[in-house]
Structure 1
Amino acid sequence: MKIALYIILGLASALLIFNLTKIDYSAPFEGNSMVGVISVIACLCAILLVIILMISRKIAVKNKELKRKPKNQ
């Protein structure tokens, strides 16, 4: 799962860069530029969700470690 998350993160980053090149910055909300803007927003959402998932998995691991420790220590 860890490798899959990094692959998804890499693909989303590559798509983000690709879609940034498709935007016409003089008229970003017309024609194909609108598709590029929507795709950039979607890629940013995907990257954010993957980062949140990675952080939540780290928190879950730390939480399990704390539960396994004896309370006397």
Structure 2
Amino acid sequence: MKYITYIAVAIIIGLIVMNAMILDFGNLFQGDSMVALISIVALLCAVCILLIFKMSKSIEEKSK
């Protein structure tokens, strides 16, 4: 399970980089830039959720 979370985080970081390349800082809140910005925020939330899951699993293992 540990490797799956690491792979998922790596894929998410790749998607964040890809979406960051789409951003147009001149028109950040219009068109494709808005979609990329929303995607970046959603992907950052996904990373946080995966890290919380990983921490909860390590706490669970220590409590046993």
The offset of 1:25, in angstroms, is 1.0
Compare the two structures and name the one with the higher helix fraction. 2
Computing the radius of gyration from Cα coordinates, the structure with the larger value is 1
* 3-state SS, counterpart of residue 26 of structure 2: coil
List structure 1 segments (4+ residues) > 2 angstroms apart after TM superposition.
none
Residue 26 in structure 1 maps to residue 26 in structure 2: yes
1:15-69 Cα deviation digits (max 9, x unpaired):
01110111111211101101100110111011111110111111111111xxxxx
The Cα RMSD (Å) is: 0.7
The alignment of Structure 1 onto Structure 2 pairs a total of residues equal to 64
Q: How is 1:1-73 mapped onto 2 (pairs within 5 angstroms)?
A: 1-64=1-64
Measure the CA separation in 1 of the matches of 2:2 and 2:17.
Answer: 23
TM-score under structure 2 normalisation? 0.94
Gaps of 5+ in 2: none
Gaps of 5+ in 1: 65-73
